[in-house]
Each structure stands twice: as C-alpha cells, then as structure tokens.
Amino acid sequence: MLDLKLLRNSTKEVGALLKRKGYEFDLVNWSDLENQRKILQSETESLQSELNTLSKEIGELKRSNKDSSGKEKNATELTARIKTKSKDLDILLKTINQIVMGMPNIPDEEVPDGKDESDNIEVRTFGAVPKFNFTPLDHLELGSLHKGIDMESGAKITGSRFSVLKSDFAKLQRSLISFMMDVHVNENGYKEVYVPFIVNSQSLEGTGQLPKFEEDLFKLEGDQSYYLAPTAEVPVSNLLRDEIIESKQLPIKLVSHTPCFRSEAGSYGKDTKGIMRLHQFEKVELVQAVEEGDSDEALEELTIHAESILKKLEIPYRVVLLCTGDLGFASAKTYDLEAWVPSQNTYREISSCSNFRSFQARRMMARWKNPSNGKTELLNTINGSGLALSRTLLALVENFQQKDGSIAIPDALRDYFKADSIKQN
C-alpha cells in the first residue's frame, strides 16, 4: 500500500510514476472521491464532536439531578444524523481503500522502463555455460532414465502440473533443502523458522497477494477464508504483522523452507513439460526486515545470499534487473536469478529478490521504534528465494549430466547427498 499522504499531496507525480508500471491512475475520479471524502469526513466528525459535548453535558446534569430532557432530545436527533452520514462515509472510505489496495508499488528510479521480460537488464553472470560433447538430455529425459521424475503418477494422484520424485531424485531434493538451509543459517546469518502452509486472507493482504490476485491462489473450503500459501513470503513476513520491533533486533533475517501452492491460472501452455512450473513445489525463502534507509543495501545482500547457493552448486547463472513491465505488484525493485538450462539453451528464473520498501509493512502495520527520534516507523521488507527447489534440481541434473547418463553431484552437496553421482541402477 502506498502512503495516503503521498497520494493526496502528490497525486499527479504518483500517477506518472505508476504509469511506468502500466497502472492507469484515474486522477479525476480520485480527486473527486477525495474531495467528497474530505467534506463528508469533516462534517461527520464535527457532528460527532457536537454529540460528545452534548453527552457530557447531559451526564453532568444527571449527576446534579437536573433536568436534561431537552438536551437528550437534541442528542437523539444528532445521533440519527450521524448514523446516516457515517454510513455514507463508510461506503466512500471502502471505495477509496479498494482503489488504494489495488495500486501497485512505485518502481525505483533505476528500474528500467520496459514492457516484458525481454526488456530486463543483465547485471552480471557467473560460470561458464557447459559445452557437451554429446547431445544433452532434458531434465525429464534424465528423470525417466533414472526413474526419478514421475509425472504420470503426479497426474494420477492429483492432476496436471503435479509431480512425484523418486529414489535419488527425491533424495537430491532433500539434500538440496538441507544444504540451502545450512548455508543461510550458518554462513549468511538467517534465523530458521517453520511456519504454517495455510494462511488467512489478512496475511495475504499484508504481503500483497490479495485482494488483486486471488485467482493465483488455492482457496480452501470452509467458513474461514484460508488459502494454501503461494510462497513462504506470506507466512514469514506476517510474523511481523502488527508488531513494533525494537531497533536492536534489526535487521531481522529469516529463512524458511516450505511447499508453495500456485494455481498458475493464465499460464496455460507455458512450461507444460516436466517440473518447471508446478502447482506444488518446494522453496527456501529469505526474508529481511530493516529500517528504511537500509533496504537498498539489504536487497543487494539478500541477492548475493541467494546467489551463493548457485555459486556453491556451480550452476551457471545470471542476475537480471527487472524492467517496469516485469516487476511484481508489491515490489519497488527486483533482481531475478536465472539459472542456465541446457535443454532450453537459455537462462530460466530460479529466484526473485525484491525490495518492497514500506509497501508491505504499511499493509501489515509492521513497525519499529526509532530511538533517534522516539517515533514508531514502518519497516522495509525484502525477500527472495534461496532457492526454488524443483528448478534447482532441474538445472542441476541438466548441467551436471555426463555422457553415460549419470549425473555428477557438485562438491558442495556431497556431504548432504552422501554420494558423488547419480547412476542408473
């Protein structure tokens, strides 16, 4: 959510900035609603103030056993007027809130203009793209060769875009999870948390998935509005909701491994093969909360932490800065990490690291106490995957495949996998 004061005082400027992200801010409608609100709110409040005074007077009269019936009659009338007005005000405020909750974050200045991912800017690359002296297989071919990826069973058990991992492939995923968690906890300074995978609508509003993107989520049946978490970002960030953090606790750095559930509405026909895009996948997520001035640095740091996994696994990758058209709803600036996928002869997203500034914190009321001025201020949140498991597994097996069909295990992972390769049995 954007700052209401900013929206009111710099409406045009905000409109121009949001336009970069493809959001049309209806300035006329907005200022019309705002003018109505201003009038209605001050009218309602002054009537309320009048009533409060009157009620106090009635109280005093009653205490001294004097007649208050005249004043009470006035008050009854006032109450009725207030009721009508505040109903109108309520509707108006809800309308305005709906608009504001549907407005994306303002992109940072250094975010390049662009319409889609083709306009993203490559920031840096790591590792040499492997050259095979044989025809490399894709991850699904490798998966069936080793009987490690079973899409048919996934479809049978549940449906399309669900997968089953078996034997060494299942073990590889488990090793990767432990490896990533250990690196982030022991080397990068994160605290491990285990959180619910089912979240309520308030949490989803806090991080920005609701109200706008409900169709991307799996909603549970029942009286409560529960959803399957699309990313650990939701439960982990919401640990801070309605909290006031002491400055000595900052920065907060949390890491969590969770499954993620996404309906993938609108992605029909995209990445239909294999485990690139699933309704359920595992992810290790990094979340930071810092004071306002520190968020730029925190994004750089968090991105490097996510990269550290790819580096250790020796998977070639590149870092791209997302352009305005590819930037997520809540993000002010995002770096994507893209791992090399030999079968597609291109880099594919494996992590997305974003600076949300105060956008999420304002929705969540996640704050900290600034000792330098004694004020309670909004936190800034930053998060990123470190990393998405199915895509890491995919990139690993494709990049490390050998001519004989075996898959080498990167050195860094061997303590976890307890073997130096995956061989056919």
Partner RNA sequence: GGAGAGGUGGCUGAGUGGUUGAAAGCGCUCCCCUGCUAAGGGAGUAUAGGGUUAACCCCUAUCGAGGGUUCGAAUCCCUCCCUCUCCGCCA
Residue ranges in contact with RNA by CB under 7 A: 4-5, 8, 38, 41-42, 45-46, 48-49, 51-56, 58-60, 62-63, 72, 75-76, 78-79, 223-224, 244, 367, 371, 374-376
CA dist 28 and 151 (Å) reads 52
CB of 195 to RNA, least distance (A): 14
Q: How many helices (H) and strands (E) does the chain have?
A: 13, 17
C-beta neighbour count of 237 within 10 angstroms? 29
Residue-wise DSSP of 117-184: GGG-EEEEEESPPP--SS-PPPHHHHHHHTT-EEHHHHHHHT-TT--EE-HHHHHHHHHHHHHHHHII
Comparison of 38 and 156: residue with beta carbon closer to RNA: 38
Pick from 181, 182, 179, 236: which is nearest to 206 by CA?
A: 236
Tokens at 383, concatenated: 């998060």
CB of 92 to RNA, least distance (A): 12
Q: Who contacts 141 (Cβ-Cβ below 8 Å, separation ≥6)?
A: none
Comparison of 189 and 211: residue with beta carbon closer to RNA: 211
Residue-wise DSSP of 63-121: HTT---HHHHHHHHHHHHHHHHHHHHHHHHHHHHHHHHHTPPPPPPTTSPP-SSGGG-E
| Amino acid, res. 123 | V
CB of 323 to RNA, least distance (A): 31
C-beta neighbour count of 217 within 10 angstroms? 21
CB of 82 to RNA, least distance (A): 8
Comparison of 56 and 311: residue with beta carbon closer to RNA: 56
CB of 72 to RNA, least distance (A): 5
Comparison of 29 and 424: residue with beta carbon closer to RNA: 29
Q: Who contacts 335 (Cβ-Cβ below 8 Å, separation ≥6)?
A: 123, 299, 303, 319, 320, 321, 322, 352, 353, 354, 384
| Amino acid, res. 153 | S
CA dist 123 and 304 (Å) reads 12
Q: Who contacts 6 (Cβ-Cβ below 8 Å, separation ≥6)?
A: 14
CB of 263 to RNA, least distance (A): 25
CB of 24 to RNA, least distance (A): 23
CB of 58 to RNA, least distance (A): 4
CB of 372 to RNA, least distance (A): 10
Comparison of 30 and 417: residue with beta carbon closer to RNA: 30
Comparison of 59 and 189: residue with beta carbon closer to RNA: 59
- Parallel, antiparallel, or unpaired for β 164-165 and 149-150? antiparallel
Comparison of 76 and 135: residue with beta carbon closer to RNA: 76
Comparison of 96 and 412: residue with beta carbon closer to RNA: 96
In 3-state terms, what secondary structure has residue 273?
coil
Comparison of 49 and 346: residue with beta carbon closer to RNA: 49
Query: Do 121 and 112 form a contact (C-beta atoms < 8 A)?
Result: yes
